[in-house]
Structure 1
């Protein structure tokens, strides 16, 4: 076996109620659903080098003809190999970074002075600092900031990636047992050393944040729901963001204390794992109110490769991770923390926890509302695909639209918002996040339910005027085309106007939440209304494939020749010069 310490196992019950033995080797999973093979699987986990024929002695009644294809399958998957020990020549020393070279020559961060130029450079639209939480998740705001050690808070995972700076970093082969053992990706020892240095004040700070937050999360009084643990970790990450965002921030940003940056890095792991549990798990998606324990979370991370990232693996020893999880889940630390004297900067921030925690919950409410707009948009795409799959799509203009729809549907599917079941998963998390956050605020803002925030606004005369204008434009576009008796224009107008009303409801709700955030932070209010094109910056700023996430009315402008500008209060429709462009590229 190339790396036996990478292997571990667990017994699980399948959806059909069958007991199974699952053997995990890095990102590989081997499932034994025949009970007589369980001894083989258990021995495989314990076994050192072996002769293939000896495997017949690992359990009762094993025949070579039965085990031979099983061993061949394990060979093909790289779980076992022929020959001697692993030929990994890296040893345990320093190895090169796997990160691509940085493209950011100087540090840039989020502040009133720099936000508009930064969003314009990264995503092609200038957005004011008063709307930053609408386009950038509140827990990601600290990522590009520097700490007192001159390192970025997000380290190798800075978001957006184009803001990552080049920093001297000690990378080593991971020697920890489990999924990351001697993985091709190294671990960041520089960040680990900082974490060890500041461990006790970090744990003390986490306990203070937990003490302020947990009484507000009334559902988790005796045990933790996975959503509430996701919320708590998001709040911990929002505390440094609160410090950076007060009064709109400054340029250059003052360095965060390494206690705060290290606290951020280790707590972000909890957020990412609970996020994966609710959204992305290949096992099954957890319901937001499903109970989770520290042991559950660690085991899930091992099984699902959560300790492995794009260019590195989690650098924390298992004992440190377990101590963190015990502290967060139980509210107790192995050593007394009340005697720890925090650095003055950290102490001053912790003294503002009631406001900082409110900021975090408001930011999570904004996230829930904003992300809901893409669920509504995907339903329009679904309806359009069905409409243009008929004879309507056979015309020249129909073929052009259908090609764009299929390309965009692929991108929506990659974003996990195309399929009905995945859309439902997103919505249930957004609902839970918004409504738990609303309840957790000292002074709630707006209605208590997400549905009240995102349901299409009431129809007004302006909507009927827009409908008439769209009807005229679309009638001209489809003139002379045999629509097979289908009321295509009427259906398109109905879809577009209803979705615009949804956009307006979401934009108005976002503006109200952002106004509350700005008041709390004593930060300048925005001077321009938001649009969904602004909200799309959350994807555009990422770069690469993700930056090509579609927006419905951009596609319609290129295929049908009309431009729509929508804010919370106004909708403008104008015809454009060129409706013949065959494809749209972001």
Structure 2
């Protein structure tokens, strides 16, 4: 019999098995009402009745209790039993309370499935690395080679170092390596999380191997973070009250990740794969959590924070906890709360490292270059991400047009509709099927892009690059030629349909032509940023032009992951055999 079907009796003993997983805070509503919010993992309880606040506070002090004793949790007269019973039965129904004493964890089913999948996963037996083998590695992963000088346009800088091995033989990205096909099978020790808060005894355990490495290099890692912070603040000062702008904190985290990445990717004396200082790989791992959290807060489709929103170490910890960002499907954050707090205070407040001063590192001299590398990487990432948002708009228009067509399995329109319908759930998952979400994303990426220009060599305050210009087609005769050519191709492949079907095909052709025009404009901005980045790394820039086919490799690398993104042009290529060659100068459709 289910818990909610059995009335609670006063003599029963009830248990709060996840008490240590709870966090709480008082909030004041716009109407001035004081509320107690209690978080149990991903579940939230809101208590807004003033006389029940003491009930919530006392509940959080119990591991087990006799049900009838809860009537005395009032700050005034005892609660009526009927009212308490209703509250307790609701908590039982939500699995926050239990009639059974908690049992030691024997390992979660989901983690066991992960371990089984790991055992069966095809993984490289020898390290794969981008520098200088990018063409060979990319061809192995996607079927198409890519020059090293275009890598950061296809793969964001914050993921480039993931598959590299440090001197301890661990991937810089640990279990989160992207692309996953570059992740080797490395021995990893797991343990159920004992830390209070959202991750306490979570189904997904924590990576103890990574924690042990982090602990060994903790103080030198903090010293390195302080050095990067100092360089960043020379060009991006704090708010007048001494707080961080949320967007600048995201940029700082990006620059920290860029330091080991630059050392691995530079053309002149790169650090060999397998020789990276573990202090740097530790800096990368712990700071990547800040990058993910700040990106999450900036890009939330509802209640996102602005770029200039003030942020403190305490607020960052609170938001990370309450938004369950210590959790993931690959394991929970392994950092003990006191280490997380110390890291946040170091990164945000500049808290000095305890103990005797630590010597400077050989790589300190590369921090200014790493700052530029990271900021250029943010520009490329912003352009790439917003282009995907524009592609989602094109998907939306085409999806709506094809829904108007009577289903004809096997016909050209039927095949197009079926393909788009298969892709549509991935668009829905991104949330970018909605124009309001796309507009918000464009604002945030625009702020990241334009703010990242400050401090770059050659930047002029009176002549900044406007983000919107990168997505504004030239409107020249090329656009009209492409539109006409696509209409011709689609109609010929469909047997020259007439009436409404011909109109739908024209809508598809016109929408794709518009997206290609936007992509041409974006390719121009991307190639300019990539050229600057290559000069910084003393790496030759490719002789040919960056193309839309190059950008599509990012979509191919995501196949089979939760980050999958359908590529618009695949619809026409797979179903009608139409291929595209799109660069900043011209578009050819065949």
Given the two structures, how large is their TM-score scaled by the length of structure 1?
A: 0.89
Return the match for 2:182 from 153, 159, 163.
163
Superposed counterparts of 1:417-496, under 5 Å: 417-444=432-459, 447-456=464-473, 458-477=474-493, 481=497, 483-484=499-500, 487-488=503-504, 490-496=506-512
Superposed counterparts of 1:166-565, under 5 Å: 166-218=185-237, 220=239, 222-247=242-267, 253-280=273-300, 284-335=303-354, 339-342=357-360, 347-390=361-404, 396-444=411-459, 447-456=464-473, 458-477=474-493, 481=497, 483-484=499-500, 487-488=503-504, 490-546=506-562, 548-565=564-581
For residues 391 and 544 of structure 1, the distance between their equivalents in structure 2, rounded to whole angstroms, comes to: 30
Which has the higher mean CA deviation after the structures are superposed, 399-408 or 264-273? 399-408
Which has the higher mean CA deviation after the structures are superposed, 545-554 or 174-183? 545-554
5+ residue gaps, structure 2, are 1-15
Report the CA distance shift for 1:121/1:486 in structure 2 as closer, same or farther (over 3 A). Answer: closer
* Deviations, residues 187-221 of structure 1 (Å, cap 9, x unaligned): 22222222222222111111111111122224645
> 1:4 maps to what in 2?
19
> 1:42 maps to what in 2?
57
Tell me if the contact between 2:41 and 2:198 (Cα under 8 Å) persists in the aligned partners.
yes
Shift of 1:520: 0.9
Shift of 1:561: 4.7
Tell me if the contact between 2:223 and 2:353 (Cα under 8 Å) persists in the aligned partners.
no
Superposed counterparts of 1:94-109, under 5 Å: 99=115, 100-101=118-119, 103-109=123-129
Report the CA distance shift for 1:20/1:421 in structure 2 as closer, same or farther (over 3 A). Answer: farther
Shift of 1:281: 7.4
SS at match of 1:50: strand
For residues 79 and 18 of structure 1, the distance between their equivalents in structure 2, rounded to whole angstroms, comes to: 25
Report the CA distance shift for 1:529/1:41 in structure 2 as closer, same or farther (over 3 A). Answer: same
Tell me if the contact between 2:17 and 2:63 (Cα under 8 Å) persists in the aligned partners.
no
Superposed counterparts of 1:558-577, under 5 Å: 558-574=574-590
* Deviations, residues 486-544 of structure 1 (Å, cap 9, x unaligned): 85455444323222111101111111111111111011212443333322333422341
> 1:582 maps to what in 2?
none
5+ residue gaps, structure 1, are 575-586
Which has the higher mean CA deviation after the structures are superposed, 3-12 or 398-407? 398-407
SS at match of 2:454: helix
Report the CA distance shift for 1:311/1:74 in structure 2 as closer, same or farther (over 3 A). Answer: same
Superposed CA RMSD: 2.8
Report the CA distance shift for 1:182/1:392 in structure 2 as closer, same or farther (over 3 A). Answer: closer
For residues 501 and 343 of structure 2, the distance between their equivalents in structure 1, rounded to whole angstroms, comes to: 65
Tell me if the contact between 2:169 and 2:274 (Cα under 8 Å) persists in the aligned partners.
no
Shift of 1:481: 4.4
Total equivalences in the alignment: 562
SS at match of 1:352: helix
Which has the higher mean CA deviation after the structures are superposed, 290-299 or 548-557? 548-557
Shift of 1:466: 2.2
Tell me if the contact between 1:53 and 1:64 (Cα under 8 Å) persists in the aligned partners.
yes
Give yes or no for the alignment of 1:71 onto 2:97: no
SS at match of 2:579: strand
Give yes or no for the alignment of 1:153 onto 2:167: no
Which has the higher mean CA deviation after the structures are superposed, 217-226 or 178-187? 217-226
Tell me if the contact between 1:288 and 1:428 (Cα under 8 Å) persists in the aligned partners.
no
Give yes or no for the alignment of 1:134 onto 2:153: yes
* Deviations, residues 141-188 of structure 1 (Å, cap 9, x unaligned): 111111121222111222222222222333222221111122222222
Report the CA distance shift for 1:166/1:269 in structure 2 as closer, same or farther (over 3 A). Answer: same
Tell me if the contact between 1:216 and 1:441 (Cα under 8 Å) persists in the aligned partners.
no
> 1:33 maps to what in 2?
48
> 2:38 maps to what in 1?
23
Report the CA distance shift for 1:484/1:494 in structure 2 as closer, same or farther (over 3 A). Answer: closer
For residues 363 and 270 of structure 2, the distance between their equivalents in structure 1, rounded to whole angstroms, comes to: 16
> 2:9 maps to what in 1?
none
SS at match of 1:8: strand
Tell me if the contact between 2:382 and 2:446 (Cα under 8 Å) persists in the aligned partners.
yes
* Deviations, residues 279-323 of structure 1 (Å, cap 9, x unaligned): 2477x3212221111111101111121111223221212111111
SS at match of 2:321: helix
Which has the higher mean CA deviation after the structures are superposed, 542-551 or 412-421? 542-551
